[in-house]
Structure 1
Amino acid sequence: MDYKSSNVEKWYAIREVSEMTGVKPVTLRAWQRRYNLIHPHRTEKGHRLYSQAHIDHIRLIQSWLAKGVAIGKVKELIVGNQPLHAELEASQVQRESIDTLLNALAQLQLAKVKAMIRGILKEYPIAMIEARLVDPIIQSLSQVKKPQRSLQMGLFQSAMITALSAILESENKAAHKGGCLVVNCEASGCIGAWIWAISIAGQGYTVTMLDGVTDLSGLVTHASLDNQWLAIYANHTLPATQKNALKQLGIQLGERLMLSPLLNAFDKSQEPV
């Protein structure tokens, strides 16, 4: 029977579920294969199909992850209907994982660092990566003595960008909404910018990343923007000349201009009351 013709229940393909929940297909597969958290229906050709109940379950998993629970502990909490204090034990599991990664960074073990980062990126929604991985690592590295901190931070940043670039390339292959130029106004290699770019690609756009851009004026009236979206990333207030360029781009593109959350907040704070 064609699942789309069923009057009993609507079924969704994995890419549709990914766009609805923000959880990448690779992560949904990992939750099923490694943690036995989800049991989608399979078509005769082996394609995964998800019901509204599956989507609700995915959102329940996300709610536990947002509380700081490690993915490996989620199933027993859901099945056992455990109280919230169980989060403390689960969070300790996450802390141990971060400590293992920090030790690999201290030893400059590139292969191990890359493998651990790939595993974490596969198991957690991209929207949670900064809070679950990036922020704890950067905070811990800030306590390391400066000469070693520079080495370890460089290794972490390099490994993260390599992994995030691969994810972005994979997301682009499934794009169906047209192009989006993502411009990073922070220093080249800003992890937050790459994560934001992936979240945009996850919405179905083909993302082209421009890294470490310090002057937005070259984009104003640029012919390449006639048929695609523009997304600007920054986590600091832009100088006056760049704000003016941003204003012109807003007039030119209208709703086709996206701003990163902090930049959007900065922009609104400058609006006249």
Structure 2
Amino acid sequence: MAFYSIGEVAERCGINPVTLRAWQRRYGLFKPQRSEGGHRQFDETDIQRIEEIKRWIQSGVPVGKVKSLLDENHPVEHDDWASQQEELMVVLRHARPAKLRAAIMAAGRQHPADAVIDRLILPVRQRLRLDQNTARAICSMLDGVLIDYAVTALAEARKKASKEALLIGWDCDDRTRLWLEAWRLSQQGWNIDVLAEPLDSPRPELFPGQRIFVWTGTALSLRQQEQLTHWQEQGFDIVSHGVLRLV
């Protein structure tokens, strides 16, 4: 079983380590194992739980009430996603883009976008990055298929969605994740256009009258929080998508 440090989990989940420690100490939302040196060690079940915590908080549930909601879930669901991750890893090892595309499409038909992204795709991408024996070409192949699928999903969503918005990557370098987040937003009723190249600083004045989502990939820094507030005070319809601020 693979274990991850708090820094690796923070990067993977887009949450500041300070927030993770607060969730554990203050609210008892999870209990990672400890190494002989006393360092936290997270496994896949811990990471799945953290993703669930994020979803509850992003849906408006106060963090103090999340634990009771989590305790109502059944562990079988975690086992099912773990098995699907293993199946996708097998497909990847065969390096067949057509089969990989079919597997992603099947998952997208069977489950909501949030679940596919958080419980299948992101864990598999993280495992590929941590596996030093995995060819870089395999990771690139997966990302290519994911972007292709996300583009198709966005096109389908445009036939139904009436709310238009622009998604901009802000000081981040994971372009594939940007397209996955666009797919996630499209399943929430948005007609999403993507600024494919992340920017050091978005310029909302270039897109007057548009709703803008910014994706940072990590918790907003103090500078980013202040800049976002400044833009909003100027009247721009700009919000941070999917990344939690510090507790």
What band does the TM-score fall into relative to the shorter chain? 0.5 to 0.7
Q: Between the two proteins, what is the percent identity of the paired residues? A: 16
Residue 234 of structure 1 corresponds to 216
Pairwise mapping of residues 92-241 of structure 1 onto structure 2 (< 5 A)? 92-146=79-133, 148-177=134-163, 179-185=164-170, 186-191=172-177, 193-217=178-202, 219-222=203-206, 224-226=207-209, 228-236=210-218
CA shift digits 1:187-224 (9 cap, x unpaired): 25232x3333233333333211012322325x2422x3
Question: Using a 3 Å threshold, how does the CA distance of structure 1 residues 100 and 202 change in structure 2: closer, same or farther?
Answer: closer
Pairwise mapping of residues 10-159 of structure 1 onto structure 2 (< 5 A)? 87-88=75-76, 92-146=79-133, 148-159=134-145
CA shift digits 1:210-241 (9 cap, x unpaired): 12322325x2422x322x20100112356777
TM-score in terms of structure 2 length: 0.60
More helix, by proportion: 1
- 2 CA distance for matches of 1:134 and 1:205? 21
Tell me if the contact between 1:216 and 1:246 (Cα under 8 Å) persists in the aligned partners. no
Question: Using a 3 Å threshold, how does the CA distance of structure 1 residues 162 and 100 change in structure 2: closer, same or farther?
Answer: same
Following superposition, the deviation at residue 144 of structure 1 comes to 2.6
DSSP-derived class of the 1:216 partner: coil
Question: Using a 3 Å threshold, how does the CA distance of structure 1 residues 242 and 215 change in structure 2: closer, same or farther?
Answer: farther
- 2 CA distance for matches of 1:236 and 1:92? 27
AA aligned to 1:161 is I
Tell me if the contact between 1:101 and 1:116 (Cα under 8 Å) persists in the aligned partners. yes
Greater gyration radius: 1
- The structure showing larger relative contact order (alpha-carbon pairs under 8 Å, at least 6 residues apart) is 2
TM-score in terms of structure 1 length: 0.55
Residue 32 of structure 1 corresponds to none
CA RMSD of aligned residues (A): 3.1
DSSP-derived class of the 1:265 partner: coil
Question: Using a 3 Å threshold, how does the CA distance of structure 1 residues 203 and 142 change in structure 2: closer, same or farther?
Answer: closer
Question: Using a 3 Å threshold, how does the CA distance of structure 1 residues 221 and 142 change in structure 2: closer, same or farther?
Answer: closer
CA shift digits 1:127-183 (9 cap, x unpaired): 11233212331243244335x341221111111111111101111221213x21110
- 1 CA distance for matches of 2:186 and 2:90? 32
CA shift digits 1:93-142 (9 cap, x unpaired): 54443223212212211111111011111111011123321233124324
Question: Which ranges in structure 2 are unaligned for 5 or more consecutive residues?
Answer: 1-51, 53-71
- 1 CA distance for matches of 2:219 and 2:81? 33
Question: Which ranges in structure 1 are unaligned for 5 or more consecutive residues?
Answer: 1-65, 67-83
- 2 CA distance for matches of 1:86 and 1:181? 37
Following superposition, the deviation at residue 243 of structure 1 comes to 5.5
- 2 CA distance for matches of 1:85 and 1:248? 40
Tell me if the contact between 1:181 and 1:210 (Cα under 8 Å) persists in the aligned partners. yes
- 2 CA distance for matches of 1:203 and 1:130? 14
Question: Using a 3 Å threshold, how does the CA distance of structure 1 residues 236 and 121 change in structure 2: closer, same or farther?
Answer: same
- 2 CA distance for matches of 1:199 and 1:140? 21
Residue 55 of structure 1 corresponds to none
Residue 13 of structure 1 corresponds to none
Question: Using a 3 Å threshold, how does the CA distance of structure 1 residues 241 and 120 change in structure 2: closer, same or farther?
Answer: same
AA aligned to 1:225 is P
- 2 CA distance for matches of 1:249 and 1:86? 42
AA aligned to 2:187 is G
